């Protein structure tokens, strides 16, 4: 065996013999979704965050995600502290071993197909400001809030596989507010219980396809299925796309290749790529020494996975930490999140509840 094979064998043995984790009390829908939960955030939700690459984009002209004036998808990261309930366990593997094991798992996936790629995601973001009288959240006249709270909502998306076929998103579902403590909720009530979210369910039908993003390059669902299935060929393709990126299209600066691959992974691992492409991407990530393993953590839906992180220095937009949480049993992406430097609470969390091929708009995968 060569060194890579030795490391992979050791990683697989460790994962196979790791002590079982007691499942968290999560709803049946979420538990079933562990078998299929790669998805992405909408462009509108992510444009205001540091993970803009995980976007749903309807092409109507103009630039892609991460254009000048919006945060870079892998926002600068430094060693932000872990949240208390996400502390790594003592028996953890290095990132390379985790990613090589994930590649082997992904390569064994069966090839599936359908007319539409369906995803279901739930996004969590902290509340940063309150509207003043007559002013909507997100407009001028905001003031900093004296309490801590997080808002969450769910989105379903149907990505057409065929050119010219209609697509759909259903946004703003099940909006919820969670307070950091009873004292925070009491403060909110003393302020008159002002609304913290104005999201409502909305069905949005489009005449054409929704597009996926790699940097500023748009890909149809079928084009994603044509991506290379070997690590070397995929790396060559991504380097070619990276070289074509204009520095002026990134804010505040064009990232390095590692950050570019990491950014692409947030979208690709949540999209309809082939098992071979997913395995190749994990192998490419395994070669990036800046990616670290934080061990086993719990995502916002109570599911356990291995957290991988990428940290960079301040690039002008403030440093922070970007994470991918991967199910080490299935190699599925559970969640991506971002933390600002020095902050334990995430600035953004996007969880992937369900995904898969379906035959028509409005249908959902059979996960039984």
Q: What is the pLDDT of residues 344-359, one digit of tens each?
A: 789 999 999 998 999 9
Question: pLDDT tier at 286 (50, 70, 90 boundaries)?
Answer: very high
Q: Choose the weakest-confidence range: 47-51, 83-87, 233-237, 253-257.
A: 47-51
pLDDT average, residue stretch 150-165: 94
pLDDT average, residue stretch 25-31: 30
pLDDT tens digit string along 223-278? 999 999 999 999 999 999 999 999 888 877 888 999 999 989 998 999 999 999 99
Left, alpha or beta for 211 (phi > 0: left; psi -120 to 50: alpha)? beta
Residues 6+ apart with CB under 8 A from 271: 38, 40, 117, 212, 221, 224
pLDDT tens digit string along 187-210? 999 989 999 988 899 999 999 889
Report the distance separating Cα 283 and Cα 162, nearest Å. 30
pLDDT average, residue stretch 27-40: 30
Helices 95-107 and 3-17: crossing angle in degrees, nearest 10, is 80
Q: Report pLDDT for 282.
A: 98
pLDDT over 50 at 43, yes or no = no
- What would the 3-class secondary structure string for 209-267 be? CEEEEECCEEECHHHHHCCCCCHHHHHHHHHHHHHHCCHHHCCCCCCCHHHHHHHHHHH
pLDDT tens digit string along 287-298? 999 999 999 999
Question: pLDDT tier at 31 (50, 70, 90 boundaries)?
Answer: very low
pLDDT over 80 at 78, yes or no = no
pLDDT average, residue stretch 137-162: 81
pLDDT over 60 at 75, yes or no = no
Q: Report pLDDT for 25.
A: 33
User: Which residue, among 266, 342, 252, has the nearest Cα to 67 in the 3D structure?
Assistant: 252
Report the distance separating Cα 365 and Cα 272, nearest Å. 13
pLDDT over 80 at 170, yes or no = yes
- Rounded percentage of the chain residues whose pLDDT exceeds 90: 56
Question: pLDDT tier at 131 (50, 70, 90 boundaries)?
Answer: low
**HSE-up of residue 29 (Cα within 13 Å, Cβ side):** 9
Domain range list for the chain: 3-19+36-358
138 burial type by CB count under 10 A (0-12 exposed, 13-18 middle, 19+ buried): exposed
**CA separation, residue 323 to residues 114, 140, 147, 168, 345 (Å):** 30, 31, 26, 28, 13
Mean residue pLDDT of the chain comes to 76
């Amino acid at each position: 065996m060569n060194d890579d094979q030795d490391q992979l064998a050791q990683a697989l043995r460790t994962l196979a013999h790791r002590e079982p984790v007691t499942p968290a009390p999560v709803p049946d829908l979420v538990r079933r979704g562990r078998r299929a939960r790669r998805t992405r955030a909408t462009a509108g939700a992510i444009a205001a965050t540091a993970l803009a690459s995980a976007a749903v984009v309807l092409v109507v002209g103009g630039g892609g995600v991460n254009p000048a004036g919006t945060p870079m998808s892998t926002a600068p990261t430094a060693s932000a502290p872990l949240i208390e309930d996400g502390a790594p366990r003592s028996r953890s593997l290095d990132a390379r071993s985790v990613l090589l094991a994930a590649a082997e798992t992904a390569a064994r996936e069966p090839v599936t197909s359908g007319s539409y790629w369906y995803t279901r995601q739930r996004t969590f973001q902290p509340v940063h400001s309150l509207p003043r009288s007559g002013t909507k959240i997100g407009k001028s006249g905001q003031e900093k809030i004296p309490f801590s709270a997080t808002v969450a909502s769910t989105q379903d998306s149907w990505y057409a596989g065929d050119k010219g076929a209609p697509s759909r998103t259903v946004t703003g579902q099940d909006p919820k507010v969670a307070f950091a403590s009873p004292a925070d909720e009491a403060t909110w009530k003393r302020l008159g219980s002002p609304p913290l979210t104005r999201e409502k369910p909305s069905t949005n039908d489009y005449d054409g396809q929704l597009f996926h993003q790699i940097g500023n390059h748009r890909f149809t669902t079928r084009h994603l299925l044509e991506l290379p299935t070997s690590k070397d060929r995929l790396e060559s393709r991504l380097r070619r796309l990276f070289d074509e990126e204009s520095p002026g299209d990134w804010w505040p600066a064009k990232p390095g290749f590692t950050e570019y691959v990491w950014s692409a992974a947030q979208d690709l691992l949540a999209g309809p790529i082939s098992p071979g492409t997913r395995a190749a991407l994990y192998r490419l990530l395994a070669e990036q020494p800046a990616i670290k393993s934080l061990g086993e953590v719990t995502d916002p839906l109570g599911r356990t996975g291995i957290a991988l992180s990428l940290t960079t220095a301040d690039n002008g937009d403030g440093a922070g930490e970007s994470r991918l949480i991967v199910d080490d049993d299935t190699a599925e992406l559970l969640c991506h999140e971002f933390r600002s430097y020095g902050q334990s609470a995430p600035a953004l969390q996007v969880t992937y509840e369900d995904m898969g091929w379906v035959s028509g708009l409005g249908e959902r995968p059979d996960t039984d």
